[in-house]
Amino acid sequence: MEAYQGEIFSVVCALIWAISVIFLRTASASVPALELNILKNAIGTGLFALTLIIMGSGQFAGLTVGTLGLLGISAVLGITIADTCFLKALNLLGAGRNAVLDCLYSPFVIVLSVIFLQESFGLKQAMGFVLIVGGVLMATASSQRDPISKSKLWRGLGYGSLSMLFMAIGVVISKPLLADTSPIAVSAWRLLIGLLGGVVWVVVSGRSRRSIAVFRGPLPWVSITMGAVLGAWLALMVWMAGFKYTEASTASILNQTSVIFIVVLAAIFLREPVGWKKAGGIVLGFTGIVAVFLA
């Protein structure tokens, strides 16, 4: 069992993340993506601070100034930018479509891992990539049971694709730094920088008044809090642990089992229809994930 702890962490992370997405999807209906990301990260950062107080400052052993700097860059890309784009896509596409679009995360991680981490890439992985892209295109298409305008579809695809790309870049930057460091300390630092990045962007972009109005207005605190506790704290710790104890490509593939969890939960709790296109896209996408895993 210990030999597979990285794989186990990655699948558990997928389930936790899927549950958090349902809560975040509900919150995204009334809270703009940037402000929702800031609230999510603020709650997560507070929980990590409490976790570190309980576990002690020894968690930061092995984190040099250079390491903190690189992790900061990965956080701005993988949390500030990627999560904001993700929440925007989630609102435009819905949980089910967006879940299948998340299948792009694995190919992005794999390609970047091959280029920068010298991990392997073969024919089965290439075939898996093609199947995943085909599944995304099929599952996100409009249907009579689940219609979507071309404008929302293309904007959602754009935001979602950027989210997966920036998240993958953040992971590949972080992966080499995890060998001798605590996943909890790394996750806490990345989330703090991700939070600060969002706040800085609010100030620089001139939307401070709008953001303050959002924060002062009525907010769906139950959905935001549950999404943050599960997605920005618990899932993030388990996610980093998965990447620490197995290869980045393997962890990213197993993380994609969240696609199945999200579609099932969205159908049950959000009443999102699952037509033949979405079902077929899920099958294609997950087949691609399995093909890459077997490689």
Q: What are phi and psi of 144, to 5 degrees?
A: -65, -35
Tell me the whole-structure pTM to 2 decimals. Answer: 0.86
Mean pLDDT value of segment 6-10: 86
Mean pLDDT value of segment 66-88: 95
pLDDT, mean over the chain: 86
Cα–Cα dist 67/189, whole Å: 11
pLDDT in tens, 154-163: 999 999 999 9
Mean pLDDT value of segment 51-61: 83
Predicted pLDDT of residue 125: 73
pLDDT in tens, 209-243: 999 999 999 999 999 999 999 999 999 888 878 87
Mean pLDDT value of segment 160-180: 87
- Confidence bin at 145 (pLDDT 50/70/90): low
CA 124, 127, 133, 135 torsion: positive or negative? negative
pLDDT at 185 over 80: yes
Mean pLDDT value of segment 29-50: 96
Higher pLDDT, 246 or 3: 246
Predicted pLDDT of residue 283: 82
Sequence ranges of the domains in the chain:
2-119+148-274
Listed as own residue / partner, the contacts of 51-54 with beta carbons closer than 8 Å and 24 or more positions apart are 51/184, 51/188, 51/233, 51/237, 52/184, 52/185, 52/188
Mean pLDDT value of segment 103-119: 78
pLDDT at 122 over 80: no
Residues in Cβ contact with 62 at an 8 Å cutoff, skipping those fewer than 6 apart: 180, 181, 182
Residues in Cβ contact with 28 at an 8 Å cutoff, skipping those fewer than 6 apart: 36, 87, 90, 91
Mean pLDDT value of segment 79-91: 96
pLDDT in tens, 261-295: 888 888 889 988 877 877 887 788 778 777 766 66
CA atoms within 13 A on the CB side of 197: 22
- Confidence bin at 57 (pLDDT 50/70/90): low
Predicted pLDDT of residue 177: 81
